[in-house]
Amino acid sequence: MNDLVRQHTALGETDLEWLHLLVSEWQLLSDLSFADLVLWVPTLDGTRYVSVAQMRPNTGPTSYQDDMVGHLVPRGRRPLLDAALDEGRIVREGDPEWREEVPVRVESIPVRREGRVLGVIARNTNLLTVRTPSRLELTYLQSASDLAQMIAAGAFPFPGQQVDMDASPRVGDGLIRLDADGVVTYASPNALSAYHRLGLASDLVGQDLGATTAELAPSRGPVDEALVKLASGWAPRETEVEGNGGVIQLRAIPLKPKGTRIGSLVLCRDVTELRRRERELITKDATIREIHHRVKNNLQTVAALLRLQARRMDSPQGREALNEAVRRVGSIAIVHETLSQNLDERVEFDEIADRVIAMVSEISPGRVDCRRTGRFGILDAEVATPLSMVLTEILQNALEHAFTQGERGTVEVSALRSGTGRKDGRLLITVLDDGNGLPEGFDPQRAGNLGLQIVRTLVEGELGGTFDMVPAEPRGTKVVLDLPSSPQK
């Protein structure tokens, strides 16, 4: 819609925002009307109309099989559009149109903002299934007429009240019509069922909805007054009401077709099961985070015991082996600590990589500069845990073997993500040092070093990637890891 409005019309950004607000709400008008809606805006030169948005009803058959957005029609071809735009009124005159052997009644509703008509909504009703309307359908149509008059007067949608239609109640979920005093004049079967879920034992018609809703909800002190006002439809608001083990979502829409409030629409949806599942998920997420937290604590305890044991050993080789084990355990603990703070099983690995680099750098403080370039991005826990160990082993190996005692140098870890999605994404990791390089005849695929065995096993077995070590130019060693960025099933 942005592109069409900016390319073909003279509307400004504030007008465009109003159209976006209207389009976010007009599913309500479409469902109440049982009709398709097409928004037409006059072009810059005033000789044509361009359709910038379209909506089909959930409550009836469509009148348009094809998408109308982007169509251009000249003035004069659709007289109802011309009359609505020029006269600023809702136009219903004219015989039904026939489209592919389907009779369609067309009405035009001017879209007004601050006294200016920005465009016209064409309301197209498929008449093929028209029958004697029920009480529900009559209430829908009357409510649609009231909303159409509010749009034509610039009183709907409500400024600052943009609604998420995926989360808000819809017409089919449950509709209650109130008079000016907040008394129920009609309640759809779904709306009545929702209130029965709250504990209502009688019918809704004839009752003061605000007072009834407050009685069904647990006492919440001063909040009751706000709930009564909202359920009475005095202001455009949304809320949830919980009582008797049930939860319903309410949305109030004041109706002021001629500037004076004549009543309200209240849409309601039974969200009891949805909220119950959400609570279960929250409990599950909290349990998973607590498990990660306890695993982290246990790993830190193991690391502390290994560190204590290393201090008591007389053999330098044994002491160093235990210190390496401490760093391996620590790298896993870092991942679990990060997971304990997240809502899902995915982590921002750049932070983990930086902490691993800082931990391993303690081997040679001040001598070798370790740094990271590029971004690992967000990784699944199934990738992050083995990758943190791989990174620890490679860095540990570089700091221990690439430089002679007291020699200064640099180790750089770089990461590059490729691919368009999680499933086909790749992660290319390079660890480059400017040390002494590889020994003559060194084969990284067969070297018996424990650290390299761990790297090969994790990279090729768990991560499904490739690993190689090659001489760097002009000196040093380059380790290259090519991995999928998502777990391999």
Lowest-confidence range among 152-161, 223-232, 388-397? 223-232
* Contact (CB, 8 A) for 268 and 173: yes
Among the ranges 212-216, 360-364, 396-400, which has the highest mean pLDDT value? Answer: 212-216
pLDDT digits over 136-182, tens only? 999 999 999 999 999 999 999 988 766 666 778 999 999 999 999 99
Top pLDDT among 260 and 423 is at 260
The amino acid at 191:
A
**Looking at residue 208, what is its pLDDT?**
92
**Looking at residue 422, what is its pLDDT?**
55
pLDDT digits over 233-249, tens only? 888 988 889 988 899 99
Among the ranges 153-162, 289-298, 325-334, 474-483, which has the highest mean pLDDT value? Answer: 474-483
- Half-sphere exposure of residue 376, counting CA atoms within 13 Å on the CB side? 25
Q: Kindly state the average pLDDT of the residues 295-304.
A: 89
Mean pLDDT of the chain: 87
pLDDT-derived band at 63, boundaries 50, 70, 90: confident
pTM over 0.75: no
Q: Which residue has the tokens 């007389």?
A: 314
**Looking at residue 453, what is its pLDDT?**
86
Angstrom distances, CA of residue 88 to CA of 109, 245, 247: 8, 49, 43
- Half-sphere exposure of residue 68, counting CA atoms within 13 Å on the CB side? 23
Top pLDDT among 437 and 69 is at 69
Residue 31 phi, psi dihedral angles, 5° rounding: -70, -40
CA 257, CA 147: separation in Å to the nearest integer?
7
Whether the per-residue pLDDT at 447 is higher than 80: the answer is no
Q: Which helix (H) or strand (E) holds 208?
A: none
pLDDT digits over 317-364, tens only? 888 888 888 888 888 888 888 888 776 778 899 998 998 888 888 877
